[in-house]
C-alpha cells in the first residue's frame, strides 16, 4: 500500500458520537482523524501503524444543559490529536481539528437601547429595544423578582423560560435568551410588530371568515409543533396571541404551559371562558384541552364573543353541557368545524391534522398566503372595481 493511500485511509477514520444525555457525566467522543503526518520516503508497515495508534482521542466534558438558556445548547469542542512519537518521520506539533470557539455571549442591560413600552402584565412590562452592536430590534420583557415572589409564580416563570426557549416555529414567539440582576429577570423576545390579536378583534368587532380561517390554520400548525414536543399550552385566548410584522400569528405567554411527556395532568388553570369540560369537572386531561380552546377561539374570532360567556356559575354549567348557539351569519363550513372541535368527549374532538384538511380551511387558505397579502390583494381589487 502506498503512502498516499494510507494517509487517505487514516483521514476516513471516524467513530460515532457517544454523547450521554445525563448532565454532569463525561463522554468519550471520537472524531474524524485528519492525520497530517510527514512520513519518510520509504515507510514500512510498522512505522505507519505506530503513527496511527499514537493519534489518541482525548476525553472531554459534556456541556451542561443549562447553557441552552444562555446561548447554544452545545458548545463547539476543540480536540487535539497529539503525536508523541520521537521519530523524525512525524511532526511533534498538535493540530486543532476545530477552530477555537469564542466564549459564550453574556447578555446585560447595557447592550440594549430601550425604546417605548409595548405592554404591561400582572408581573412584567415589555419594552421595544434595539441591540446596540447589531441594530437588531426585539422586545425585552422585564419581570420584577419581588412581584414574582409575592404572587407565588416562580414555577410559572421557570416553565415559561424552559419551554419557550426550546420551541422553534414561525407561529410561536421566539425567546432569544434571558439574563437577570439582583432585582429583575429580563427575557429577550421576538418583536411582534402588530401587537395583540385581541386589540385587532376589538377594533373590528369580528373578523371576516377568510381572515379567521388563516388565523386558525396558523394556530393549528403551531399547536401541532407544541404537541409534538409534548407541550400543552392550556391558556389559548386572543390576549395571548400576537401578530407579527406581516400579520402572522405568534403564540405567546407560556406561563401556564407544561411539558407533559406522560400526557396527563389535573391542574386547574386557564381562562374561564376557554376552559374545557374536563378541567371544569376536575378530571384528568390531555393535550386535547388545546383543541377545545381552538374551537372557542374560532367562535370568538367569527362572532366577537366567547360561546359560553355568562356569569361564572352559568358559564361552567354551559361548558359541561356544550350549550352554545352559533349565529346564522356563520357559514355552514365554519359551523361544522366549530362543532367538531367543541365536543364534550375529548377523544371525539377533531385532530389537528384533520383541522388542516377541513373544507373551511381549504376554502380560504392558499398555500403560503399571509393575511397581509390577502388584504393587499382585496384592496387592489376593490380599487379597480371602483374605477369607471
Residue 223 lies in domain: 195-377
101 part of a folded domain: no
70 part of a folded domain: no
38 part of a folded domain: no
Residues of each annotated binding site for ATP: 122, 141, 190-192, 239-240, 253
Are 169 and 209 found together in one domain?
no
Return the percentage of the chain with pLDDT > 90, whole number: 56
Return the percentage of the chain with pLDDT > 70, whole number: 67
pLDDT at 375: 54
Are 317 and 361 found together in one domain?
yes
pLDDT at 380: 55
Mean pLDDT across 141-162: 91
Model confidence at 27, in pLDDT bands (50, 70, 90)? Answer: very low
CATH number at residue 345: 1.10.510.10
Question: Percentage helix, strand, coil, to 5, in the chain?
Answer: 40, 15, 45
β-partners of residue 272 are none
Concerning whether 235 is annotated as a catalytic residue, the answer is yes
Could you give the CA distance from residue 148 to residue 124 in angstroms, rounded to a whole number? 9
Are 244 and 175 found together in one domain?
no
Q: Is the pLDDT of residue 164 over 50?
A: yes
242 part of a folded domain: yes
pLDDT at 312: 93
pLDDT at 382: 55
Mean pLDDT across 328-344: 96
Q: Report the range of poorest mean pLDDT among 103-112, 198-207, 247-256, 269-278.
A: 103-112
1 part of a folded domain: no
Q: Is the pLDDT of residue 181 over 80?
A: yes
Strands (E), the chain: 26-28, 59-61, 80-81, 95-96, 112-120, 124-131, 137-144, 175-180, 184-189, 195-196, 231-232, 241-243, 249-251, 258-259
Asked if 216 contacts 197 with a C-beta cutoff of 8 angstroms, the reply is no
Q: pTM, whole model, 2 decimals?
A: 0.68
Are 209 and 354 found together in one domain?
yes
β-partners of residue 95 are 81
The pLDDT tens digits of the residues spanning 35-71 come to: 333 444 444 544 544 544 454 444 334 444 444 434 4
The pLDDT tens digits of the residues spanning 185-204 come to: 999 999 999 999 999 999 99
CATH number at residue 153: 3.30.200.20
Are 153 and 218 found together in one domain?
no
pLDDT at 118: 92
57 part of a folded domain: no
13 part of a folded domain: no
Q: Is the dihedral of CA 71, 138, 253, 263 positive or negative?
A: negative
- Work out the widest C-alpha separation in the chain, in whole angstroms: 94
Q: Which of 17, 23, 181, 235 is catalytic?
A: 235
Q: Is the pLDDT of residue 305 over 60?
A: yes
Model confidence at 307, in pLDDT bands (50, 70, 90)? Answer: very high
DSSP strand pairing (112-120 vs 124-131): antiparallel
The three-state secondary structure class of 114 is strand
Model confidence at 321, in pLDDT bands (50, 70, 90)? Answer: very high
Residues of each annotated binding site: 122, 141, 190-192, 239-240, 253
Are 258 and 231 found together in one domain?
yes
β-partners of residue 258 are 232
Q: 165, 189, 213: which is the final residue of a domain? A: 189
Are 172 and 206 found together in one domain?
no
Are 252 and 320 found together in one domain?
yes
Phi/psi for 110 (5° steps) reads -65, -10
pLDDT at 240: 93
Are 291 and 215 found together in one domain?
yes
Across the chain, what does the average pLDDT equal? 77
pLDDT at 121: 78
pLDDT at 51: 45
Q: 125, 157, 189: which is the final residue of a domain? A: 189
Are 120 and 246 found together in one domain?
no
Mean pLDDT across 213-232: 95
Mean pLDDT across 338-362: 96
Are 119 and 180 found together in one domain?
yes
The pLDDT tens digits of the residues spanning 81-140 come to: 344 444 444 444 545 555 555 545 688 899 999 999 998 877 889 999 999 999 999 999
Q: How many domains does the chain have?
A: 2
**Which residues, 6+ apart, have CB-to-CB distance to 94 below 8 Å?**
80, 81, 82, 83
Q: 189, 210, 231: which is the final residue of a domain? A: 189
Are 207 and 182 found together in one domain?
no
**Which residues, 6+ apart, have CB-to-CB distance to 59 below 8 Å?**
26, 27, 28
Burial of 319 from C-beta contacts in 10 A (0-12 / 13-18 / 19+): buried
Amino acid at each position: 500500500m502506498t503512502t498516499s493511500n494510507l494517509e487517505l485511509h487514516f483521514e476516513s477514520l471516524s467513530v460515532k458520537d457517544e454523547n450521554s444525555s445525563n448532565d454532569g457525566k463525561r463522554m468519550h467522543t471520537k472524531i474524524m482523524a485528519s492525520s497530517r503526518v510527514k512520513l519518510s520516503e520509504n515507510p514500512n508497515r510498522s512505522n505507519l501503524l505506530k503513527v496511527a495508534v499514537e493519534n489518541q482521542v482525548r476525553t472531554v466534558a459534556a456541556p451542561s444543559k443549562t447553557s441552552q438558556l444562555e446561548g447554544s445548547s452545545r458548545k463547539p469542542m476543540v480536540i487535539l490529536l497529539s503525536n508523541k512519537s520521537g521519530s523524525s518521520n512525524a511532526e511533534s506539533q498538535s493540530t486543532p481539528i476545530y477552530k477555537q470557539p469564542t466564549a459564550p455571549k453574556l447578555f446585560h442591560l447595557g447592550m440594549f437601547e430601550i425604546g417605548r413600552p409595548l405592554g404591561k402584565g400582572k408581573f412584567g412590562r415589555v419594552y421595544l429595544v434595539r441591540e446596540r452592536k447589531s441594530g437588531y430590534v426585539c422586545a425585552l420583557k422585564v419581570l420584577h423578582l419581588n412581584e414574582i415572589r409575592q404572587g407565588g409564580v416562580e414555577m410559572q416563570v421557570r416553565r415559561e423560560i424552559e419551554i419557550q426557549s426550546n420551541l422553534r416555529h414561525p407561529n410561536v414567539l421566539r425567546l432569544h435568551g434571558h439574563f437577570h440582576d439582583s432585582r429583575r429577570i429580563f427575557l429577550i423576545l421576538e418583536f411582534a410588530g402588530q401587537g395583540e390579536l385581541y386589540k385587532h378583534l376589538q377594533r373590528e368587532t369580528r373578523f371576516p371568515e377568510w381572515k379567521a380561517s388563516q388565523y386558525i390554520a396558523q394556530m393549528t400548525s403551531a399547536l401541532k409543533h407544541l404537541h409534538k414536543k409534548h407541550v400543552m399550552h392550556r391558556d389559548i385566548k386572543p390576549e395571548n396571541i400576537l401578530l407579527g410584522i406581516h400579520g402572522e400569528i405568534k403564540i405567546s405567554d407560556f406561563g401556564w404551559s407544561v411539558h407533559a411527556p406522560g400526557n396527563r395532568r389535573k391542574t386547574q388553570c386557564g381562562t374561564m371562558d376557554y376552559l374545557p369540560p374536563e378541567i371544569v369537572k376536575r378530571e384528568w386531561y390531555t393535550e386535547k384541552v388545546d383543541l377545545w380552546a381552538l374551537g372557542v377561539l374560532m367562535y370568538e374570532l367569527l362572532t366577537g364573543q366567547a360561546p359560553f360567556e355568562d356569569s361564572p356559575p352559568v358559564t361552567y354549567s354551559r361548558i359541561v353541557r356544550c350549550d352554545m348557539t352559533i349565529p346564522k351569519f356563520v357559514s355552514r363550513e365554519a359551523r361544522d368545524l366549530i362543532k367538531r372541535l367543541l365536543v364534550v368527549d375529548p377523544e371525539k374532538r377533531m385532530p389537528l391534522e384533520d383541522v388542516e384538511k377541513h373544507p373551511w380551511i381549504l376554502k380560504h387558505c392558499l398555500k403560503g398566503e399571509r393575511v397581509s397579502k390577502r388584504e393587499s390583494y382585496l384592496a387592489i381589487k376593490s380599487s379597480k372595481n371602483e374605477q369607471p
